A and B are shown apart, each in its own frame.
Chain A
Amino acid sequence: MEVGKVKRVAGPLVQATGLKASMYDLVLVGEEGLMSEVIGISGNKHIIQVYEDTGGVRPGEPVKETGAPLVAQLGPGILTQIYDGIQRPLPKLSEASGDFISRGLFVDGIDHKKKWEFKPVVKKGDVLKPGQSFGEVQEQLLINHKIMVPPKNKGGTIKEIYSGNFTVDETVAVFEDGSKLTMMHKWPVRQARPVTKKLAPTIPLRTGQRVVDGFFSLAKGGTAAIPGGFGTGKTVMQQTLSKWADVDIVIYVGCGERGNEMADLLHEFPELQDPRTGRPLMERSIVYANTSNMPVAAREASIYTGMTTAEYYRDMGYDCMMTADSTSRWAEAMREMGSRLEEMPGEEGYPAYLGARLADFYERAGRAEVLNGGQGSISVVGAVSPPGGDFTEPVTQNTLRMVKVFWALDSKLTQRRHFPSINWLDSYSLYDQILEPWFVENVSPDWNKNKRRAMNILQENAELEEIVMLVGSDALPEDQQITLEVARMIINFWLAQSAFHPVDTFCPYKKQFDLLAAILKYRDYAFEAIQRGISVAEINSVPSKDALAKVRLEAEYEPILAKVLAQMDVEFKALK
């Protein structure tokens, strides 16, 4: 390995001479050996981005090659971990350097001393293909970690395979050609892991959020963007999704976000119960926390590191969800590095390759048939933080070209404390049609029909509100006044959902459907009553309408809803 010399230091960027390293190779800069990556080669100079603070580094200090790109360590022991952007476990860092992160620390991504119980699933003489699993480790109580032949290994015939307790470095199987297999392998984070075949996203990802599942549903393996100005509830939304989405593994990448928020998450995840299993949510989570004041180059890498671990669990056949909060900070890291490299900037100072990088990232999502034979998926939810809440800016626009679901967060809704503050007119989901058969089969044939009815009412409401702003609501015809009232019910009783209410925070499909159907039923009653010549004021004051408002807060809602509907029937019949 060559050792080069630092020529120039300016911020997180270092130029060095005397190296033979390739692009994206990991190198160690300076006496302290700061982790860094080659991001440009020009003449005899290598341009290097440093993942740590460069204060005090001088020209003339050594730069050591490692001969490999930035890799993630993949093996049992990843789950429950809290990493920084380059897969260094944060608790290990604090053991090594205290409460503040110091420099030049190298910590393994997974524990190399811990022994795991390895159970082989193949036997001597079996022929293994790349990506095929040959053993299992019970990583967590409910997560069975499949040990796979690394995708870049050519495979072979098993000569020996052991069972028992091993560390990730110890040999657990030997091929006939003498090559050995351990429980861990390394994978370059910037490279997508291969699959056999990508599949169409035909299964919805249940989140328990009415506005998401009912109106703008995400498919397993789908991609969604949550753009919104600050304070519109992006982070709460992502955390709610992480808690409730019906996936096996959750990867949360806090990319350039707030330290206190990460602390909140790190505090909350271990205490949260997985609603389906009753086990702590943390047992199926991986958190990457690269806060905004941690080095910017590591922030740039964190998205790739997170995606690589997601792909690894997908390859085992699991459904994974990766949330990235926020991709704008990631793009800004690219911009910062680009401007230090004195690259010709594209729109708003972002590098010209912004679109290509975002595309590369979102394309790594999807549902797929994996090399191991089963199916797995990675759904990606990317938060976007547009400056000034302006959706025409480059990161939002480039993201919208890639993703299929758009949850537009609206600061006007936040100001009214309407949560989730997803605007029902601007948002969309392109999975609408492809998911319909699933909902018809599993919930109700009327799922999409009711959805469309409700959306039409809201659309009409938006048009009517403009008129109301001019002439007042009393000037409208009676049927339109009813529409306004029904829209208000859909918005307040159905779309609004409290993430902090113990029952309302999660709403199953059936309940979502029943509640919406009840509101639509009220509409039918009300229109029928108008025909009979009953006044709007009388219709709006039926007591069952107010009772309907609180059904969503009940866990055993069915008898209560039935009672409210029965009451509604009686009350409308009594109107004369």
Chain B
Amino acid sequence: MRHLLSTADLTRDDALLILDTAAELARISDRPMKKLPTLRGRTVVNLFFEDSTRTRISFEAAAKRLSADVINFSAKGSSVSKGESLKDTALTLQAMGADAVVIRHGASGAPHRLANAGWIESTVINAGDGTHEHPTQALLDAFTLRRHLRDGEGDLTGVRVTIVGDVLHSRVARSNVLLLHTLGADVTLCAPPTLLPVGVDTWPCTVSYDLDAAIADADAVMMLRVQLERMNAAYFPSAAEYSRRYGLDAQRMATLAPHTIVMHPGPMNRGMEIAADVADSERSVIVEQVSNGVSVRMAVMYLLLGGAESGIGGIA
């Protein structure tokens, strides 16, 4: 495997190798000396066409802990904001000798295009493309789920995960449905019907419009960010109604099983999809997701950039 574009490209073994490698690397991160020499002399470019400080610094920290040289290329204040095309940006990075390009782009498929259009030879890692996918987010979510619900080992067979919110526009939901299914979890999507894509019935998951029913026997509840401007496009009538029907508040949290964890990919709208009482509760693993994100991204770069002799097998 040269690129990480979609979790659909990962077999169960690929995914487990990434998670196991991440677990190994997480142990190193607990040491006082966090750095590994693995990617010394390699260049990783963080190519961000959308603002996402948290994802960018996570990739940056991961690359630096592997001793790679990191270049942050943000669309704002660069030639991109003056109308330079994705192709010309890619050619520039190619000329500068980027070994890996971590791309965040507002257009679905932009990483796929970067990897396959013949513009560059670098490894491409999708850090979120439009409303398509965000594979490393799904991997860090799987890592977090495994740690809390399966003692950090094996796959997620039988784990019940309910993903709640704006599935239609969510790259996190798409990547998670595919990856968690591959790992054996039972996924339920819960949202108002307006925020589920036409065609969701073909996905390997269950769909519910009723949050109370959907979380009743969940082992994990993942809340997705809902943007307030969706109201203007008639996806739902008001923030208050959304919050009442699909928000996770203390009252609903009290109905969860004792072991159930609450997740959120961030950034949160406190008081909208998730109440502050929930976000800051014992069940919340939201902060831990962030630190797991660094380990998982280290694992992905380590495996893709030839840290291991075998790489992640089996995929073109």
Note whether A and B form a binding pair. Answer: no
Residues of A within 8 A of B (CB): none
- Name B's A-contacting residues (CB within 8 A): none
